Structure 1
Amino acid sequence: MYLRRAEMKDLPQIESIIQDGKAHLAAQHIDQWQGGYPNTSVLVNDIQNGHTVVLVEGYEVLGTAAVIPAPDESYQVIDGDWLTHDDTYVAIHRVAVSANHRGQGLSGKLFAAIFKEIEANSSINGIRIDTHPDNKGMQHIIKKAGFSDTGTVEVLADSQTSVHDFAYEKLTTAGVLVKTH
């Protein structure tokens, strides 16, 4: 199992995983991803810009996420306080894992692989993410991955709904101040 940049050939599997995620959220009566977002255009744009990463085993995409360099327009205004206060962060969006492998800890493995890649870039101080207030499962995964609550942000990517998501940030080793004697 390894993480790599997505290619256009991965789009059908990524779209399938996103559709499974939408259905899973709908089954839980969570009003996240229930409009037209994320759509094919957004996913293609992420891949073409080199933002999408996929967790792969053999030829199967097990999970996907968009890792987007700052600044993120949804994160410019927060009701709360970010841990980092400049543009030395990346944002993780559109996290989803295969319904065929749900319950196998893939989200944690996906995050761990993303963190390892981000840590290799010493100029990144923080990692930001948000999720819907009703998405308790994702909130648990985010906190288990070491993120801290930072407040709420208005979701700007989904123009069909007005949602204020819970926001989180995790410092990288570059963002942690080392105390000296």
Structure 2
Amino acid sequence: MYLRRAEMKDLPQIESIIQDGKTHLAAQNIDQWQGGYPNTNVLVDDIQNGHTVVLVEGYEVLGTAAVIPAPDESYQQIDGEWLTRDESYVAIHRVAVSANHRGQGLSGKLFAAIFKEIDENSSIEGIRIDTHPDNKGMQHVIKKAGFSETGTIAIVVDDQQDLRDYAYEKLTKLGSLVKTH
């Protein structure tokens, strides 16, 4: 099992995993991802911009996430306080794992692989992420991965206004050094 940048040939598997996520959220009566987002255009843009990473075993994509360099428009305003400066972070969005492998700790493995790549290859101090207030499963995964809750952010998705997600940040190895020295 390894992490790599997604290629356009991965799009059908990524779309299937995202659809699995939408279905899973709907089954829990969570209205996250229940409109048109994330759609094919967003996923294609992520891949073409080099933001999408996939967790792969053999030829199968097990999980996907978009790792996007700062600044992230969603994270400009927060009710709370980020742990890092405005330009020294990456944002993780659109995290999903295959329904065929749910319950096998893939989200944690996906996060661990992303963290390792960030620590080895960048000067990033922090990693930011957010999720819906009703998405208790993702909140658990985020906290277990070492993120700290930092506040709430306003999001605009599917033309819905006044949505607020819980925001989290995790310091990288570099961020930990910067904060303690």
Same-fold call, TM cutoff 0.5: yes
Verify: 1:92 aligned to 2:92, yes or no: yes
Verify: 1:173 aligned to 2:173, yes or no: yes
- Alignment partners' CA distance in 2, 1:53 and 1:172: 18
**Corresponding residue for 2:38?**
38
TM-score, structure 1 as length reference: 0.96
- Alignment partners' CA distance in 2, 1:112 and 1:157: 28
- Alignment partners' CA distance in 2, 1:168 and 1:42: 22
- Alignment partners' CA distance in 1, 2:86 and 2:74: 14
User: How far off is 1:4 after superposition?
Assistant: 0.2
Aligned-partner SS, 1:155: strand
- Could you give the per-residue CA deviations for residues 48-67 of structure 1, whole angstroms, max 9, x where no partner exists? 00000000000000000000
Aligned-partner SS, 2:162: coil
- Alignment partners' CA distance in 2, 1:171 and 1:68: 16
Structure 1 gap ranges (5+): none
- Alignment partners' CA distance in 2, 1:77 and 1:125: 19
Q: Which amino acid aligns with 1:62?
A: L
Contact 1:154 1:164 in 2 (8 A): yes
Contact 1:64 1:95 in 2 (8 A): yes
Verify: 1:132 aligned to 2:144, yes or no: no
- Alignment partners' CA distance in 2, 1:87 and 1:111: 21
**Corresponding residue for 1:142?**
142
Moved more, 160-169 or 130-139: 160-169
- Alignment partners' CA distance in 2, 1:21 and 1:33: 8
**Corresponding residue for 2:80?**
80
Q: Which amino acid aligns with 2:117?
A: E
Aligned-partner SS, 2:44: helix
Alpha-carbon RMSD across the aligned residues, in angstroms, is: 1.2
- Alignment partners' CA distance in 1, 2:156 and 2:89: 18
Verify: 1:61 aligned to 2:78, yes or no: no
**Corresponding residue for 2:2?**
2
Query: Share of identical aligned residues, percent?
Result: 83
- Alignment partners' CA distance in 2, 1:117 and 1:88: 16
Q: Which amino acid aligns with 2:58?
A: G
Number of equivalent positions: 180
User: How far off is 1:157 after superposition?
Assistant: 4.5
**Corresponding residue for 2:121?**
121
Aligned-partner SS, 1:133: coil
Q: Which amino acid aligns with 1:147?
A: F
Structure 2 gap ranges (5+): none
Aligned-partner SS, 2:121: coil
